[in-house]
Structure 1
Amino acid sequence: MHHVEHEPANKRFIIQDNGDIAAVMTYVISSPELYIIDHTLVENAYRGQGLGDKLLKAMVEYARENGIKILPLCPFAKGRFDRIPEYADVLN
């Protein structure tokens, strides 16, 4: 488990466990250079395992590789951006 998959067609990053979605981070494409994180959900059975952080890290790496800035409207993502200065380069 804990492998993050990016599903561009569904505008989301997910982590699955035996075919079930354990955690998901969704985004909206505001422009080719700006993605808005609008929702992060970690199912109750998987909380406390750092899955939300894994999703955010994957999103940040994707943004860096593709010259995208991120606007974190989701409270979880916004809170992490506030606490992780290394992500400031992709923050809009």
Structure 2
Amino acid sequence: MLEIKKGTKSFYIGDSEENPLAIMTYIFSGENLIIVDHTYVSDELKGQGIGKLLLKELVDWVRKENKKIIPQCSYVKAQLEKNKEYHDILN
């Protein structure tokens, strides 16, 4: 099982945030908003639902922290709009 780790401004899989096998990055915009700006999944992990796992981890954290998401990353934007269970965290 792959372990998802929380970085400084990301959720990632791999040995380090600087050299991940998969990563979803964000930046803060004010106190209660985060902008999700990038998702990357390496070729060796593609097609295994890793992007969805990273997004679920991010959403769980956002809910726990009472924040909202502004999706700039096209993958995250599509997933958030498609899945009604995520609409509560959209800004």
1:2/1:51 contact within 8 Å kept: no
What is the alpha-carbon distance in structure 1 between the residues aligned to residue 26 and residue 80 of structure 2?
15
Task: State the Cα distance separating 1:30 from its structure 2 match.
Answer: 0.5
Within 5 Å, give how 1:1-92 maps onto structure 2. 1-7=1-7, 9=8, 11-16=9-14, 19=15, 21-92=20-91
User: Number of paired residues?
Assistant: 88
RMSD: 1.1
1:37/1:72 contact within 8 Å kept: yes
Q: Normalised by the size of structure 1, how large is the TM-score?
A: 0.90
Which structure dedicates a bigger proportion of its chain to strand?
1
Note the residue ranges of structure 2 that are not aligned, 5 or more in a row: none
Q: Percent sequence identity over matched residues? A: 39
Note the residue ranges of structure 1 that are not aligned, 5 or more in a row: none
SS of match in other structure, 2:36 = strand
SS of match in other structure, 2:48 = coil
